[in-house]
């Protein structure tokens, strides 16, 4: 199989994926996203049959996947999956459409309308940018005054395209959240523990070993299916009461900070999936 690995930076993940693909006799080309110029026609631009999309930019990943599919290539993850997972409001809608359990959520497009809706639900709530990652700008609103401050920034800065607020139920977690890797099927997971309510490893949470129970595995697979994800990391929030919700789905699987704790060879599992021809 011939594979183009599209990247922004060659991080640990990309190095390990490259090695794993080559071990499976894939001919891999590294292609940097910033250098790509794609014409709007069906002309072939590569010898590859498969593209492993590892761009760190949502804008580039989404457009490149769309255009590469248009040119007849198998792209993992698909343009549809990237579009849905990269936008948390669209992820929520896709999960809701399939009845996948998640924190209640709404979107609003106006400061006052949003404040009224939050007041009606009661505090605390969580708001986060619809496009974003690594826990950046995720905010817990404990009071009306906090909500006013955050929402006046959300609606008073940026352009019209930024003026959307995603508001979610605040889930009082027991000190961690859970991540299940779905590579065609649930293959393993990770518990991320933190003193802070934001439990991204990029924000200092400590990765721990987590044996994924069957219920969590099935939930993660249902979430992946709702967005058509071939290889995704599904984040779950457990309530203190033992309920379990899907919080978000990451389309570009990161694992460098937690290779040991995850306990499964993610680069090999991804390479095997790529080499198998699944997800075409």
Write out the residues near Mg ion by the rule CB under 5 A. 235, 248
Minimum separation from the CB atom of position 132 to Zn ion (A): 7
User: What phi, psi does 4 have (nearest 5°)?
Assistant: -95, 120
Minimum separation from the CB atom of position 134 to Zn ion (A): 7
What does the alpha-carbon distance between residue 194 and residue 185 come to, in Å, rounded to a whole number?
27
Contact status, residue 258 vs residue 233, Cβ threshold 8 Å? no
**Applying CB under 6 A, does 247 fall inside the site for ligand ADP?**
yes
Residue among 66 and 133 whose Cβ is closer to Zn ion: 133
| Beta sheet of 139-141, edge-to-edge order | 105-108, 165-169, 125-128, 139-141
Name which of residues 248 to 277 contact Zn ion (CB under 5 A): 248, 250
Contact status, residue 257 vs residue 269, Cβ threshold 8 Å? no
**Applying CB under 6 A, does 181 fall inside the site for ligand ADP?**
no
Q: Helix (H, G, I), strand (E, B), or coil: what is residue 57?
A: coil
Residue among 33 and 248 whose Cβ is closer to ligand ADP: 248
Contact status, residue 235 vs residue 250, Cβ threshold 8 Å? yes
**Applying CB under 5 A, does 57 fall inside the site for Zn ion?**
no
Contact status, residue 55 vs residue 77, Cβ threshold 8 Å? no
Minimum separation from the CB atom of position 62 to Mg ion (A): 18
**Applying CB under 6 A, does 270 fall inside the site for ligand ADP?**
no
Residue among 50 and 168 whose Cβ is closer to ligand ADP: 168
**Applying CB under 6 A, does 269 fall inside the site for ligand ADP?**
no
Name which of residues 132 to 151 contact Zn ion (CB under 5 A): 133
DSSP 111: H
Distance (Å) of CA 275 to CA 12, 22, 103, 208, 212:
20, 10, 36, 30, 25
The strand pairing partners of 207, in sequence order, are: 192
Q: Identify the residue among 133, 146, 175, 257 touching ligand ADP (CB under 6 A).
A: 133
Residue among 73 and 252 whose Cβ is closer to Zn ion: 252
**Applying CB under 6 A, does 124 fall inside the site for ligand ADP?**
no
What does the alpha-carbon distance between residue 153 and residue 129 come to, in Å, rounded to a whole number?
12
Interaction pattern, residues 200-239, with ligand ADP; x per rule: CB under 6 A: x----------------------------------x-x--
User: What phi, psi does 34 have (nearest 5°)?
Assistant: -65, -25
**Applying CB under 6 A, does 199 fall inside the site for ligand ADP?**
yes
Residue holding tokens 């809608």? Answer: 93
Question: Residue count at the site for Zn ion (CB under 5 A)?
Answer: 3
Minimum separation from the CB atom of position 250 to Zn ion (A): 5
The token pair that represents 108 in the structure block = 């609003």
Chain-centre distance for alpha carbon 3 = 22
Binding site for ligand ADP (CB under 6 A): 103, 126, 128, 132-136, 138, 168-171, 173, 177, 197-200, 235, 237, 247-248
């Amino acid at each position: 199989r011939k594979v183009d690995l599209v990247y922004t930076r060659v991080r640990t993940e990309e190095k390990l994926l490259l090695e794993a693909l080559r071990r499976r006799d894939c001919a891999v080309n590294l292609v940097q996203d910033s250098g790509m110029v794609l014409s709007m026609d069906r002309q072939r631009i590569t010898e590859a049959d498969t593209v492993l999309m590892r761009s760190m930019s949502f804008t580039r990943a989404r457009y490149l996947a769309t255009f590469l599919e248009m040119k007849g290539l198998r792209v993992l993850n698909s343009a549809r999956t990237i579009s849905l997972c990269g936008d948390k409001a669209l992820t929520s809608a896709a999960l809701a459409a399939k009845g996948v359990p998640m924190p209640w959520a709404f979107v609003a497009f106006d400061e006052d309308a949003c404040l009224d809706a939050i007041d009606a639900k009661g505090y605390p709530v969580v708001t986060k940018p619809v496009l974003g990652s690594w826990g950046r700008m995720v905010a817990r609103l404990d009071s009306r005054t906090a909500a006013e401050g955050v929402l006046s920034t959300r609606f008073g800065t940026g352009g019209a395209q930024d003026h959307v607020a995603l508001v979610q139920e605040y889930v009082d977690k027991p000190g961690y959240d859970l991540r299940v890797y779905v590579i065609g099927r649930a293959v393993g997971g990770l518990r991320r523990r933190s003193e802070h309510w934001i439990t991204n490893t990029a924000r200092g949470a400590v990765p721990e070993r987590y044996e994924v129970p069957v219920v969590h595995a099935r939930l993660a697979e249902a979430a992946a299916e709702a967005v058509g994800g071939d290889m995704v990391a599904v984040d779950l929030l457990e309530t203190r009461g033992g309920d379990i919700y899907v919080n978000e789905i990451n389309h570009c699987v990161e694992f460098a900070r937690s290779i040991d704790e995850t306990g499964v060879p993610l680069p090999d599992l991804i390479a095997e999936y790529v080499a198998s021809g699944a997800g075409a």
